């Protein structure tokens, strides 16, 4: 197989979004901020570390439109705690019950992008070509 894994996911955001992104992704979701390489800092955006070694990046888009369908899906160990924290931080969150026993919820970041958070595992099927 040529692909060995996933390195990072990039979420689009408007120019000047960096402080809001830090409050949301580090303050609310508790993701540590990573040092963005000097060569890329002029582009704007912020990089965050996920616990499994992958990364979540925000990137500036001039004609930004929030992504309300396509989205990254993050894993958590305690969805109830995350939903309580969302209420404390006044972050829109909606639990979804379509994939029981998998627990999941949808959040919105400060820019209107959709994020999914799951607790547990779901059935996966490997398709052959």
6-23, pLDDT tens digit by residue?
A: 999 999 999 999 999 999
pLDDT at res. 128: 60
pLDDT at res. 125: 59
Q: pTM score > 0.85 for this model?
A: yes
44-61, pLDDT tens digit by residue?
A: 999 999 999 999 999 999
Spans of all domains in the chain: 8-119
Whether residue 80 is predicted with pLDDT greater than 60 in this model: the reply is yes
Whether residue 82 is predicted with pLDDT greater than 70 in this model: the reply is yes
Whether residue 31 is predicted with pLDDT greater than 60 in this model: the reply is yes
pLDDT at res. 100: 82
User: What is the distance of C-alpha 91 from the center of its chain?
Assistant: 13
Fold of the domain built from segment(s) 8-119: 2,3-Dihydroxybiphenyl 1,2-Dioxygenase; domain 1 (3.10.180)
């Amino acid at each position: 197989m040529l692909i060995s894994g996933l390195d990072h996911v990039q979420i689009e955001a408007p120019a000047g979004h960096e402080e809001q992104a830090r409050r949301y992704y580090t303050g609310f979701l508790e993701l540590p901020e990573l040092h963005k390489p000097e060569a890329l800092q002029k582009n704007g955006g912020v990089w965050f570390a996920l616990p499994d070694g992958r990364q979540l990046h925000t990137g500036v888009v001039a004609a930004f439109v929030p992504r309300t369908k396509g989205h990254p899906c993050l894993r958590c160990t305690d969805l109830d705690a995350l939903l309580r924290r969302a209420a404390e931080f006044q972050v829109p969150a909606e639990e979804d019950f379509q994939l029981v026993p998998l627990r999941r919820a949808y959040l919105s970041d400060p820019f209107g992008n959709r994020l999914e958070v799951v607790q547990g595992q779901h059935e996966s099927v490997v398709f052959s070509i």
